[in-house]
């Protein structure tokens, strides 16, 4: 039997294929209410040195760059960093203040930074791809200086929908591991040198299912299966999958339940 590839390779493979489509989808949210709400929660300050882990196409890093001293965007997928550099070039052309941003490639489990290097460490929409969330969190804590903030935003289905949600997401995107429930997210810092977290429900983006499928490349047969499952869930009105699937003008629309958690490094 063929051995499963290491999960890091699955992530890189998946996000190399997704990079362009994902960048388009997420880039459209740049400057949105959702991003402003996130900026308010992280409490970005002019003297902050910020690390955005799993930065993908760099939308968050570039949105926050004008409000902090320096930003490092960090991701394991080189193709995502290509998108991030392109977005930075476009932002610079549009005269946005983004020349304080640099990009680094690597794995969240071994951040190539000294302890206490940053005053603000963020990570958005990525913990559900991580096989060992506690080990990854420890790394975020290590590179954050005492008094600094660690802020994680991710999809967080309710506990009773968690299994169905994970099954669906793995079908759509094999790099999905497990979306933490709000309670699991809240407990991520237990035993680490951080405060108790402040938790805020996020603003879930309302998206067309077909747009998401076009950006994530499941097999053709799987696309049909996913559509049928969402259609059934939308028609039932029960939200068994946890995506609040609904029909609007004949289109299936979904949203991803989100929570933002913020810890202070002790």
Cα–Cα nearest to 55, from 42, 70, 72: 72
Q: Tell which one of 71, 91, 126, 234 touches ligand SAM (CB under 6 A).
A: 126
Q: Residue 59, interface with ligand SAM (CB under 6 A)?
A: yes
Closest approach of Cβ 129 to ligand SAM, in Å? 4
Q: Residue 75, interface with ligand SAM (CB under 6 A)?
A: yes
Q: Tell which one of 64, 80, 212, 226 touches ligand SAM (CB under 6 A).
A: 80
Residues constituting the chain? 266
Residue closest to ligand SAM when measured from CB atoms? 56
Q: Residue 125, interface with ligand SAM (CB under 6 A)?
A: yes
Closest approach of Cβ 125 to ligand SAM, in Å? 4
Q: Quick one: which segment of 36-44, 52-60, 144-152, 197-205 binds ligand SAM (CB under 6 A)? A: 52-60
For 84, counting Cβ atoms within 10 Å of its Cβ (0-12 exposed, 13-18 middle, 19+ buried), the class is: buried
Q: Residue 10, interface with ligand SAM (CB under 6 A)?
A: no
Do the bridges between strand 206-208 and strand 251-255 make them parallel or antiparallel, or are there none, so unpaired?
Answer: antiparallel
**Cβ closest to ligand SAM, residue 8 vs residue 195:** 8
Q: Residue 166, interface with ligand SAM (CB under 6 A)?
A: no
User: Cβ distance 153 to 125 under 8 Å?
Assistant: yes
Q: What is the DSSP letter of 67?
A: G
Measured CA angle at 23 (ends 38, 252), to 5 deg: 85
Residue 56's SS3 state is coil
Q: What is the DSSP letter of 122?
A: E
Closest approach of Cβ 160 to ligand SAM, in Å? 24
Closest approach of Cβ 237 to ligand SAM, in Å? 28
**Cβ closest to ligand SAM, residue 9 vs residue 43:** 9
Q: Tell which one of 41, 124, 150, 194 touches ligand SAM (CB under 6 A).
A: 124
Q: What is the DSSP letter of 1?
A: -
| Cα separations in angstroms, 186 against 55, 111, 179, 195, 243 | 22, 23, 13, 11, 21
Q: Residue 213, interface with ligand SAM (CB under 6 A)?
A: no
Helix/strand/coil percentages in the chain, nearest 5: 45, 20, 35
Chain centre to alpha carbon of residue 45: 22
Q: Tell which one of 64, 129, 223, 233 touches ligand SAM (CB under 6 A).
A: 129
Q: Which residues bind ligand SAM (CB under 6 A)?
A: 8, 11, 15, 26, 54-56, 59-60, 75-77, 80, 107-108, 124-126, 129-130
């Amino acid at each position: 039997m063929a051995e499963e590839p290491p999960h890091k390779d699955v992530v890189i493979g998946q996000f190399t294929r997704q990079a362009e489509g994902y960048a388009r989808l997420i880039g459209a949210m740049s400057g949105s209410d959702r991003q402003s709400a996130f900026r308010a929660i992280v409490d970005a300050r002019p003297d902050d040195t910020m690390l955005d882990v799993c930065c993908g196409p760099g939308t968050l890093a570039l949105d926050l760059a004008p409000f902090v001293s320096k930003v490092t965007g960090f991701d394991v997928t080189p193709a995502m960093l290509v998108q991030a550099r392109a977005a930075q070039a476009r932002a610079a052309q549009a005269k946005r203040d983004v020349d304080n941003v640099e990009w680094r490639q690597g794995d969240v489990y071994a951040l190539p930074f000294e302890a206490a290097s940053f005053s603000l460490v963020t990570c958005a929409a990525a913990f559900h791809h991580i096989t060992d969330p506690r080990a990854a969190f420890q790394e975020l804590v290590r590179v954050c200086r005492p008094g600094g903030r660690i802020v994680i935003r991710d999809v967080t289905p309710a506990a009773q929908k968690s299994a169905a949600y994970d099954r669906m997401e793995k079908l759509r995107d094999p790099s999905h591991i497990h979306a933490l429930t709000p309670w699991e997210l809240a407990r991520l810092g237990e035993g680490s040198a951080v405060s108790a977290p402040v938790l805020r429900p996020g603003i879930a983006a309302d998206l067309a299912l077909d747009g998401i499928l076009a950006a994530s490349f499941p097999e053709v047969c799987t696309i049909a299966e996913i559509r049928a499952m969402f259609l059934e869930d939308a028609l039932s009105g029960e939200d068994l999958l946890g995506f609040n699937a609904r029909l609007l003008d004949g289109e299936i629309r979904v949203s991803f339940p989100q929570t933002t958690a913020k810890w202070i490094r002790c």
